[in-house]
Amino acid sequence: MDGMAASALAIALVGLGLWTLVRRRNVIWKLLGLNVAAGGAILFLVAVAHRPHAHPAIAELGPGPSADPLPHALVLTAIVIHFATLALSLVYVIFLTERRHSQDVHKLEEER
């Protein structure tokens, strides 16, 4: 995929995810939207690594230019972090569902 196309797709994913985060009232939908947005940010880092006519950043694939390996290293870290974040927040959603019997933001926000 071309660098520009990947960047455009990444930004579209971020927009879509954030739109879901803001519009949906269900917490699980919100978290899914957030995860799509985070995935977009990660894809954006991959797009940044793009160099024209380069092969993937693996040593045996040379000669010739390779894609920038540094953003790929960052992407690995970011994926792990987002996995941990999503998993932990879902645990809290389970907890709230058991206690408050609702996943609706407006209900959860009522004073108790």
Partner 1 sequence: MSYAIGGVVVYLVLGIVGFLVRPRWLCGALAIAAGGASLALWAPGFPEAVLGGTGWGVSVAGDPLALGMWALALVIHGTALLHERARPGAFHPLLTLLLGTCLATVLSRDLFNLYVTLELVSLLSFLLVGYEGKSRAVWASLQYLILATVGMTLYLLGVGLVYGKLGTLSLSSIAALGPGLSAPAVAIGAGLLVAGAAIKGGVFLFGLWLPPAHGYATTGVSVVLSAVVVKMGVVVLARLSEALPVGPILVALGILTGFGGLVYALWERDLKVFLAFHTVSQLGYLLIGFGLGGPAALGAVLYAVAHGLFKGLLFIAAGQAIETTGEREIAHLADRLAWPTAVGLAVGTWAIAGLPPLAGFTAKGALTAGLLLPMKAVLVALSVGTAASFAKVIPLLRPGPKREDSSGGVMILIVVLVGFGLWDFASRPELRQLGKWAEAAGGALGGYGLYLLLRRVRPRLPRITLDRATVVALVGAAALAAGLLFLG
**Which residues bind to partner 1, rule: CB under 8 A?**
14, 18, 21-22, 27, 30-31, 34, 37-38, 40-42, 44-45, 47-48, 70-71, 74, 77-78, 81-82, 84-85, 88-89, 92-93, 95-96, 99-100, 105, 108-109, 112
Residue with tokens 């992407």: 75
Please give the structure tokens belonging to residue 60: 């045996």
Rounded to a whole number of angstroms, the minimum distance from the CB of residue 47 to partner 1 is 8
Rounded to a whole number of angstroms, the minimum distance from the CB of residue 62 to partner 1 is 19
How far CA 72 is from CA of 10, 19, 53, 57, 64, in Å, comes to: 15, 27, 17, 8, 18
Alpha-helical regions (H) of 1-112: 3-23, 27-48, 69-100, 105-109
Rounded to a whole number of angstroms, the minimum distance from the CB of residue 65 to partner 1 is 14
